[in-house]
Structures are given as C-alpha cells and as structure tokens.
Amino acid sequence: MNVFGAVKTSINTREAAERYGVEVNRHGKALCPFHNDRNPSLFVDDDHYHCFACGEHGDVIDFTAKLHGLTLYDAAKKLAYDFGITQDKPPDKAMQEKLNKKSEAQRLRENEKLCFSALLEYMKLLQEWKRLYAPRSPEDTQDDRFVEACHTLDYVEYLVDLLIMGDSYERTEVIDMMMTDGKLQKLQMHLKKHRKERSYEQEER
C-alpha cells in the first residue's frame, strides 16, 4: 500500500480536521477554513468533507493539502507523520484504539436510525388514522386523530423522504431538528401511548 492508501484507510477526516485546529461540532459541521465562513457550512464526515457555501470537497489528503498549502503527496506524508502511520506498519495500538472509538459521525448515524424508525412508525400511524377516523358524514364531529393526521402527515412524509432520499447534509438537518428540544423523545412517547391504546382497542374487539 502506498502512502496515499495507508493514510486514507487509517485516518478519519474529522480527526484530522480537529487535529489541525478546525473545530467540528457534534453534528459534523464546522466553520469552513477555505472561505470567510460565519455559520458552519463545512460538513466533515469520516471519509470526506464538503462545504455547502464554497463547494470545497475532498478526502482527508485534499483537506490537509488545501489547509497547509501542500501538494497532495506532501500532505499525505504529513498526515502519515502526524498520525504515526508508516506504509509497511499498520497504525500502532493506541492509534488503532482511537480510530475504533465511536466517532461523532457514527453517533450521528445512530441518531439517524432512531429518528427514522420513529418517523416511519408515526407516518404509518397517521396514514391509518386518516383512513380509519375520517368523518363519515358532515355532521360527524372530527376525531382528534383524524385532525392530527390532516395537519401533520404531509410534513412527516416529507421528513421520511428526506431521510431516505436526501444527501448527507439534508439528513443531518432532519436529525438536528429532531434532536433539538427533545422532539425525538416526545415523538417516541406519543407513539408509545398510542401503541398502548391500540393494544387495548384490539383486546376489546
């Protein structure tokens, strides 16, 4: 394996960014060092980075080269040196442990799974409510569940779509939003409550 391969497989882009003074928040975003950035526009993942404002994009070697004004080869050598990697020797044990530690990006993926399963369950529930509790005649009082479905179903479908089809930036936005103000926990409680109600209803039948 050459120095490029050794560096790319052993060094996480995020760790390198942080090592070189670019602070990455828990959602994988940072102030972009490649343009005059006021809000974090730079998304840093395990194996690449992308700036949504200036379009800078690449892997850990591109990042280091651009940041330090080095050629790609010199950047790869610098990374290898700074992270203690040699071409014939795998990263040492301490480094390996560090690499194995849960990265923020992994945590993001776990949150993504939680958000996705809650939103998907909610979407199915709302679809069912819209069908089951629709008023049968104009005189019927509207069922709360039907009203909730009418108000929220489109939005929830949109969020689920973004999680399935969106790029990493869009998915991060949805997860960010769900992890703010305990929205995910509230949704999980809401679902739990209705799961219980449904099992009672099924017992009565």
Binding site for Zn ion (CB under 5 A): 32, 34-35, 51, 53-54
CB of 58 to Zn ion, least distance (A): 12
> Is 53 or 114 the residue whose CB approaches Zn ion more closely?
53
> Is 67 or 150 the residue whose CB approaches Zn ion more closely?
67
What is the distance between the alpha carbons of residues 42 and 139, in angstroms, rounded to a whole number? Answer: 55
Distances (CA, A) of 182 to 114, 115, 155, 189: 13, 12, 18, 11
Which residues lie closer than 8 Å to 18 by C-beta, 6 or more apart?
Answer: 24
> Is 31 or 70 the residue whose CB approaches Zn ion more closely?
31
CB of 34 to Zn ion, least distance (A): 4
CB of 40 to Zn ion, least distance (A): 10
CB of 55 to Zn ion, least distance (A): 7
> Is 34 or 133 the residue whose CB approaches Zn ion more closely?
34
Structure tokens given for 139: 């005189």
Half-sphere exposure of 47 (CA within 13 A, CB side): 5
What is the distance between the alpha carbons of residues 42 and 66, in angstroms, rounded to a whole number? Answer: 14
Please answer whether residues 17 and 30 qualify as being in contact, where contact means their C-beta atoms are separated by less than 8 angstroms: yes
Half-sphere exposure of 175 (CA within 13 A, CB side): 24
Q: How many CB atoms lie within 10 A of CB 29?
A: 19
> Is 22 or 123 the residue whose CB approaches Zn ion more closely?
22
The percent of the chain in helix, strand and coil, each rounded to the nearest 5, is 65, 5, 30
> Is 40 or 91 the residue whose CB approaches Zn ion more closely?
40
CB of 35 to Zn ion, least distance (A): 4
CB of 51 to Zn ion, least distance (A): 3
